[in-house]
Amino acid sequence: MLKLEDLQVTMDSGTLRADMALVPGRRVALVGPSGAGKSTLLDAIAGFREVAGGRVTWQGRDLTHVPPQARPVSILFQDSNLFPHLRLERNLGLALHPDGRRPDAEARARIEGALRRVGLDGMAGRKPGTLSGGQQGRAALARVLLMARPVILLDEPFAALGPALKREMLDLVREVADSLAALVVMVTHDPRDAEGFAHEVVLVAEGKAQAPVAVDAFFADPPRAFRDYVGVAG
Amino acid sequence: MAPRALAIAAALALAVLTLGPVGVVLARAGGFGAFGPGDWQALRFTLWQAFLSATFSVVLAVPVAKALARRRFAGRGVLVTLLGAPFILPVIVAVMGLIAVFGQAGLVNRLLGALGGPNLDIYGLHGVVLAHVFFNLPLAVRMLFSAWAAVPAEHFRLSASLGLSPRAQWRVIDAPLILRVLPGAFTVIFVICLTSFAVALTLGGGPRATTVELAIYQAMRFDFDLGRAAALAVMQLVLALAAGLVALRVAGQAGFGAGRDRILPRWDGQGGLARGWDGMWIVAAALFLLVPLAAVVLRGLPGLLLITPDTLRAAGHSLMVALGSTALCMAWALPLATRRGEFLALPAIAISPLVLGTGLFLILRNFVNPFDMALPVTGLVNALMALPFALRILRPEAEAVTRDYGRLRASLRMTSLAWLRLVWLPRLRRPMGFAAGLTAALAMGDLGVIALFADPDRATLPLQVYRLMGSYQMEAAAGAALLLLCTSLGLFWLFDRGGRLGAEA
């Protein structure tokens, strides 16, 4: 269980409050107007942002003041998910050996396997710059697979991809998460992503992250704040 | 992030090596009673030549920069690149070139002689100012030029669509821009010229053309009056600190104009008169910069045959000094590539090489024969002098690496060593190559503190050129100068190129 207990995070525009419990193996979408604090909440879970009050716990363990590198969390950012000067093998190897040593035969086999899982068979020798945007996303997901952490955070990593490609990537995320039985928390500004992908939806608006709602229930009777924002956004 | 202990060690070494010599100089200086009338004369001359140099540089820079900013022509890119070259050009090489053009038997005098005009003498105040303008006019042009390139294109479109007259456009766009940039440019150049040593050594001298830096050298080398040298060093220190504080206030964020080169479409200045005017300034500036360099090359070629083992040995010393300086400067710069580190390195700008050299001399003579330490001291001082520039280049890039990949690093649980080896150093290759190239070229061409410490056995190549000039072996000097020019530019090119190779976006 990932619990946010009366969590308060300071933002430029005020304080964001969150109080909820998220269940392992579920996929949760954070939706809401831009600037409302979706990415801020993700950063607080990942440990990149000090919290002003409350607690973050995972399976009963208090993570509130644990540094990011010690949290059971892997995260995909909007960009810069791969080091552009390193071949995929080295990029992915960092998930297995954070001391940066050259992957040995066993590690290379695991890397190849992960790349195969995401459809990048035989691309271990390529540098990120020679890959398409979709392929880069796949490579980053292969690394998430190797990191094998129980919580996966996605900060709109596929926002720059077209709709069909994005759908493909989300399917892949689902596969990866299922194989790890991981909790996925995804930020999105596109409600359609949430509909096809998530079990639950968390609305972040007006300084508050609402409790998660089952995705069907959420879209059958959207909260007012969500209607306002979708209405304005067109 | 470099380990914290390393950064602290680097900062401490920096503090000890800058403040230590200054402290020794302050303790040794005998007070203002030590100054003779010649020393006050040196102070007046220093201020006056710096004022004249800065004035001519910025005033002449205005038409040149304006012409460059609004004209397209073949070779324009090359000319703009060349404007950056004086920074890594050894002073002694430029002086040789200027003598070849403006000297007693130079091109200008031969032309004037043929026309029955007067004979110019390059030695003295006007020679010093001429050389300073040669070095700093390009800097002023670059500063103005990048300000013009940064004007929003809409301003020129608006001015064209309003049909503003040239005078109106001048008042609305150009004049405010010049007034904004010029005070900063003037101050920066003034401060640079205050610490002029090599130019004053070669083209000045005598009671009427001695800078304070040169006076320090003379007190040490000719009179061996360490007390007076220390007192003069304090004078120079006060001068540089005062000027530096003013420069920080006035110049502020003026920058060094290392910026972009874009040509904005403009609709003004299409008349023949304006074209001719701009063309004249561009040709004049190009000639002023290129003819002396061409003279160095042309005169140096036959001189290459006269290169003696002494000169080669000096070149070897210079290479060692340059490489040592570069290694030291990089070892210093990498842990200090933060905002705080850049601040720590600021005093190195105000402390002139000769002041530092005097202090080191006073310290070393307690333990060893200072003259034995000529080359290590030269390497050290050059590393210190280059450090602020290296940090200026490295710091923004180092911060960008941390900003872009710091979170990924944490998420991957990368160790410090893996981060340093796999990410930080590879990502900083390009700026490191550039900074190392600048440092190597500056150290290779430096004629400063080595003059204080040198004996016949331990000359560097610039000093060797100076000695050959002093003994009127002009052809051998020209050959050595060409060798110096090639090694300086070659070192810069090698390091800069090495940084670019294999450094991908």
Which chain B residues contact residue A73 at CB under 8 A? 411
Evaluate whether B137 touches B57 at the Cβ level (below 8 Å).
Answer: yes
Residues of B with CB under 8 A from a CB of A: 404-405, 407-415, 417-419, 421-423, 426-427, 503-505
**pLDDT category of residue B337 using cuts at 50, 70 and 90:** confident
Residue carrying structure tokens 């460059």: B68
Q: For residue A18, give the nearest of A185, A193, A170 by alpha carbon.
A: A185
- Under 8 Å between Cβ of B412 and A95: yes
pLDDT in tens, A24-53: 999 999 998 888 899 999 999 999 898 999
Taking alpha carbons only, the member of B215, B214, B238, B226 closest to residue B351 is B238
Q: List helix spans (H) across B162-271.
A: 166-169, 175-194, 198-203, 212-221, 226-251
Cα distances (angstroms) measured from residue B240 to each of A22, B233, B236, B248: 64, 10, 6, 12
pLDDT (average), residues A162-177: 91
Q: Which residues pair with A58 in a beta bridge?
A: A2, A61
Residue pair A45/A37 in contact (Cβ under 8 Å)? The answer is no
**B374 half-sphere exposure, CB direction, 13 A CA radius:** 20
ipTM of the complex: 0.81
Would you place residue B1 in the very low, low, confident or very high pLDDT band (cuts 50, 70, 90)? very low
- E strand or H helix at A208, and its extent? strand A208-209
Q: CA-nearest residue of chain A to B503?
A: A85
Provide the number of CB pairs (under 8 Å) joining chain A to chain B.
Answer: 66
Which pairing describes strands A27-31 and A53-58: parallel, antiparallel, or unpaired? unpaired
| DSSP secondary structure letters along A125-164 | T--GGGS-HHHHHHHHHHHHHHHT-SEEEEESTTTTS-HH
CB A194 within 8 A of CB A29: yes
* Residue entry with tokens 């972040």: A204
A98 and B426 in contact by Cβ < 8 A? no
pLDDT, tens digit, 9 for 90 and up, residues B112-163: 888 887 888 889 998 999 999 999 999 999 889 888 888 877 777 777 777 7
Nearest CA in chain A to B409: A69
- C-alpha B289/C-alpha B281 separation (Å) is 12
Q: For A97, phi and psi rounded to 5 degrees?
A: -130, 90
CATH of B2-500, one of 1.20.840.10, 1.10.3720.10, 3.90.580.10, 2.60.120.380: 1.10.3720.10
Task: Report, as an integer, the average pLDDT of B47-63.
Answer: 96
Residue with tokens 């010049």: B178
Question: In this predicted model, what pLDDT tens digit does every residue of B309-319 receive, in sequence order?
Answer: 999 999 999 99
Rg (CA), chain A: 18
Using an 8 Å CB-CB cutoff, list chain B residues near A98.
Answer: 412-415, 418
Asked if B214 and B205 count as a contact pair (C-beta separation under 8 A), the reply is yes
Spatial neighbors of A45 by CB under 8 A, at least 6 apart, are A2, A4, A56, A73, A151, A153, A185
Task: Give the three-state DSSP class for B368.
Answer: coil
A75 vs B: CB within 8 A: yes
Strand, helix or coil for residue A221: coil
For chain B, the structural domain boundaries read 2-500
Contacts of B111 by beta carbon, 8 Å cutoff, 6+ apart: none
Compare CB distances from B504 to A69, A85, A95 and report the shortest one's residue.
A85
> What is the residue whose two structure tokens read 């020393």?
B39
- Nearest C-alpha of chain B: how many angstroms from A147? 8
Q: What whole-number distance in Å separates Cα of residue A141 and Cα of residue A163?
A: 18
CB contact under 8 A, A100 and B412: no
Beta A61-62 vs A208-209: how paired, if at all? Answer: unpaired
Contact A90 B405 (CB under 8 A): no
Identify the band that residue B252 occupies on the pLDDT scale cut at 50, 70 and 90.
low
The string of pLDDT tens digits covering residues B189-211 is 998 899 889 999 999 877 789 99
Whole-prediction pTM value?
0.81
Residue-wise over A54-65: b if at least 16 C-beta within 10 A, else e?
bebebeeeebbe
**Cα gap B272→B65, rounded to integer Å:** 19
